[in-house]
Amino acid sequence: MATQTADTPADPPYWSASPSKPKLKLPPGSSDSHVHVFGPRARFPFADGRNYTPSDATKEMLFALHERLGIQHCVIVQPNCHGRDNSVTIDAVAATGGSYRGIALVPTDVSDAELKRLDAAGMRGARFHYVGHLSTGPKIDEVIAFGKRLADIGWHLQIHMAGELIAELSPALKRSPVPVVIDHIGRVDASLGLEQPGFRALLGLMESKHVWVKVSGSDRITRAGPPYADAVPFARKLVAEFGDRCVWGTDWPHPNHTHVPDDGMLVDILAEIAPGAALQAVMVDNPMRLYKFAPARKLTGA
C-alpha cells in the first residue's frame, strides 16, 4: 500500500451521517470502549508515511453520536494515521474532564517523562499493531518487556493482531506483567466457524486472567454483512465464558472498512452478544474497572 503525505486528498467518510437510533436502552454509565478521532486536519495534521487519509471525524461529531446512542464513557484509541503525536486524542479526552480515556501510540523506548505526561492527560494504555494493513509493531518480546515500565503507571497493553497470529503471539502475551486487551475479537474470520484454530487460540489465551478482549468488530469479522449473524456467536461465546473481562466499542468512525456500519445497529446487536445481566458487566462494570473513568458529565461540544 502506498504511503501518504501532507497533500494526499482525504478518503470519503467511512461513517454514516445519520445512524439509526438504537432500540436497545443501554444502562447508565455505558462505555464505548473503542473509537478514534480524526482531525480536524488543519489543527491536527496526519503523519507522513501513513497508510490511509480519512476525512475529518472530530470530537464534536463523536460526542453527538454518543448522545444519540446513550453512551456516557468512552475510550479514544490513537489512530495510526496520526502517528505517535497523540495530541488529537489528548485534546478529545481533555474536553470530557476524564469521563473519556485514551490509548496511546508510543515507541517502546519512549521516555519515562513522556509516559507520565500521557498518563496525566488521561491515557491508560499503549497499542501495538500486528495486522497487514497497518505498520507492524516491534517484536512481541520487546513489547512484553516494555510492559514492565507500563506496570509502574498502571497502564495496559492493547494488541491489534490478525487472527492467524493469535497462536504465535499467545505465549508471549501470557507472560505480560500488565493486563493485555485484544482488539476486535482477535480479527478472526467468522466464515471459518467457532472451531477454527484462530478462535480456539483466542479462547485459550483468555484462560489467562490478565487477558481481556474487545467484543467489538462483528462488522469487521463478518463475511455475511449486516446484521452480522455469522459474527455475533463469536462475541457471544466470549461474553458467556469470560464475561468479567470483555468490553465493547463501536470502532467509530470505522477506518479501513469494507462498508459503512450503522452505529445504532451495532448497539442493538448487544442484546444478542451480552444478554441479560451481562450487558451491565460489558458496558459499565468492566470498562470502569479497566479504564477508571472520571464521573460522567455533559460533554463540551455535544
Nearby residues of 225 by Cβ (< 8 Å), 6 or more positions away:
259
Strands (DSSP E) found in 3-42: 31-35
Helix H segments across the chain?
59-69, 87-94, 112-120, 140-151, 166-174, 197-206, 218-221, 232-242, 263-268, 270-273, 278-280, 286-291
Q: 32, 189, 219, 251: which is the annotated catalytic residue?
A: 251
Q: Is residue 244 among the annotated active site residues? A: no
- The reply to whether omega before 227 is within 30° of 0 (cis) is yes
17's grid cell: 451521517
3-state SS class at 31: strand
How far apart are the C-alpha atoms of 199 and 237, rounded to whole Å?
10
Whether the Cβ atoms of residue 39 and residue 50 lie closer than 8 Å to each other: no
Whether the Cβ atoms of residue 74 and residue 33 lie closer than 8 Å to each other: yes
Is residue 181 within 8 Å of residue 290, measured between CB atoms? Answer: yes
**How far, in Å, CA of 233 to CA of 218, rounded?**
9
Count of other CB atoms within 10 angstroms of residue 63: 20
Burial call 126-160: b when 16+ CB within 10 Å, e when fewer: bbbbbbeebeebeebeebbbbbebbeeeebbbbbb
> Catalytic site residues?
251
